[in-house]
Structure 1
Amino acid sequence: MEPESTITDTEAVRVLDVSGPQYRRSFELFLAGTDEKPLTHARLGEVVAALPHRRVLLDVGAGEGRTTAYLGRSFERVVAVEPSAAMREKLRAVCPEALVLPEPIDRAEPPEPADLVHLSHVLYYVPEERWLPTVDRLRSWTAPGGTLLVVLQNPDSPCMRMAAHFTGVRYDLRPLAAALRELHPADGLALETLGLRYRTEHLEEAVDVAEFMVNVAELATLSARPTRAELTSYVQLNFTRPDGSYTIGHTQDMLTLRRSPTD
């Protein structure tokens, strides 16, 4: 991994462009230290095994396609929605058989209903007042008897508390779950948590990953972003382990909506 240029403590936390090298480096550091993929994929595998049909997977906001590829091997056809050109290039490399739609969620038109619709860590970039109509649109893309999965940070996770401390933003799927339950009472709906952790022995890497974690959409709108020094102090105070390593919990919520087979 190529070293970054030195960042001084007095500099503001950076707003990371998801297609840029700074985001890439932080994301790779995060992936190298987290247990997210094995634990999340194991749970997703259980969800897939319980589906009545495995004809079509629709991954909305598929990113680079790592989870798309893992899920897609269980389905006859794969459709992915990814508006970022840089992400689509990587997505097509790992999922060459997938049909990739370049439009954003509000303009995408999948060609057929899907037995599993997967929306992971995308709602951060959707205004909260648009969550219900957005997810309800995805429900319309879900085949009767199929499953819609929505994944987001748990509002009480250490990661989310850190983001709230610096930006005032904390995401919560519980109101969305309640609204969907009222709107579609015949659907099966559950909200569960997955306890996940990022670990590293190096403070600088922990701070780089913390910067990645606080890069919620609202960070760019702050009149004064926190400094690197403030973020470093927060990491040292809250995430240092007795052995001198650093652990950042990033518990996730998984909202599972099983569409009524008769709807």
Structure 2
Amino acid sequence: MVSKEEIQNEDAIFSHQLELFVSSSTEKGIELLVIGDIITGLPNRQRFLDVGAGGGDLTVPISQLFEETFVVEPNPLQARAFRRRHPEYTVIEAGWESVDQENDLGGNAFDFILCSHVLYYIPTGDWDKLVHRMYTLLSAGGCLAIVLQSPLGEVADFFNWFTRYDVAILELAGDLIERYGDDCVSLRYFQNQIVTDNLEDMTEIGLFLLIDPKYREQSREIARYFQEKHQLGESYRLKQDEILLTVWRRE
């Protein structure tokens, strides 16, 4: 059985790696631009729900465009930080699969729901059910935005070197088109660059991307991979190809 101390340590490691990833990436700025285009098309901007908000680098700027913001964040360190820094938010410290619409979300509907880099942590077989739950919480004219790593590109190559990249975003898109119609679902592509000044930081980011703590045993091999394939002068650069999947509720 995993102890409370071990869980807290894992949460702290995740928070550190997430902060390092965000500070070394162009992703959030680019993602905000793409999401901004979506938000301009919304008929209303009453409520925003961020599912798996992480460090809040997207949550905070997006929240300024809405009257109310709800945050679902399973990491207790991140959830506590939201409550402390943004008491105006409604913060639910839980995984999406355990969130109750009435008790946790006040029975509200949302004009915009963001799910950025969250589905990796959920078994693929549960995606359809959990994404549909998000969709049912959209108000008329609302939009659900899902961001996931592309199956192609340098990060995907990194995954495939150490494990197998099997995030089925194209299959998910096909399922959503079949369920909601191709006029309600669209895909957009954008690219993030991750740049660090040292190999240690890039190795930590690699461990963050691989998700499973078991890969810490391969830290030396991961460092060697980046040294051989992604060293650029005295720094290290990794390109990350990403896909933004949007689902609109038209009725």
Q: Which of residues 28, 33, 37 is equivalent to 1:42?
A: 33
Shift of 1:161: 2.2
Identity between Structure 1 and Structure 2 (%): 27
The change in CA–CA distance for 1:120 and 1:17 in structure 2 (over 3 A counts) is farther
CA shift for structure 1 position 68: 1.4
Instruction: Say whether the 8 Å CA contact 2:19–2:55 is kept in structure 1.
Output: no
Shift in CA distance, 238/17, structure 1 to aligned 2, threshold 3 Å = farther
Compared with structure 1, are the counterparts of its residues 229 and 104 closer, same or farther at alpha carbon in structure 2 (3 Å cutoff)?
Answer: closer
CA distance in 2, matches of 1:16, 1:169: 28
Q: Shift in Å at residue 29 of structure 1?
A: 2.5
Q: CA 1:193/1:177 → structure 2, altered by over 3 Å: closer, same or farther?
A: same
Q: TM-score, normalised by structure 2?
A: 0.87
- 8 A Cα contact 2:141 2:250, kept in partner: yes
Letter matched to residue 257 of structure 1:
V
Runs of at least 5 residues in structure 1 that lack an aligned partner in the other structure: 1-14
1:154: which partner in 2? 150
Unaligned runs of 5+ in 2: 1-6
The answer as to 2:78 corresponding to 1:87 is yes
Counterpart among 108, 113, 118 of residue 112 in structure 1:
108
Amino acid at match of 1:55: Q
CA contact (8 A) 2:46 2:66 kept: yes
1: CA distance, partners of 2:168 / 2:217:
23
Counterparts of residues 10-21 of structure 1 (less than 5 Å): 19-20=11-12
Superposed displacement of residue 33, structure 1: 1.8
Correspondence list, 1:1-263, <5 A: 19-20=11-12, 22-108=13-99, 109=101, 110=105, 111-185=107-181, 188-215=184-211, 217=212, 220=214, 227-241=218-232, 243-261=233-251
Q: How many pairs does the alignment contain? A: 240
SS at match of 2:174: helix
Pairwise CA RMSD: 2.2
For 2:225 and 2:109, the matched residues in 1 are separated by 45
Map of 1:7 onto structure 2: none
CA distance in 2, matches of 1:159, 1:52: 36
In 1, Cα distance between the equivalents of 2:113 and 2:82?
17
TM, length-normalised to structure 1: 0.84
Conserved? CA contact 2:149–2:242, under 8 Å = yes
SS at 1:53 equivalent: coil
Does the 8 Å contact 1:120/1:150 carry over to 2? yes
Partners of 1:17 and 1:130 in 2: CA distance: 27
Partner SS for 1:83: coil
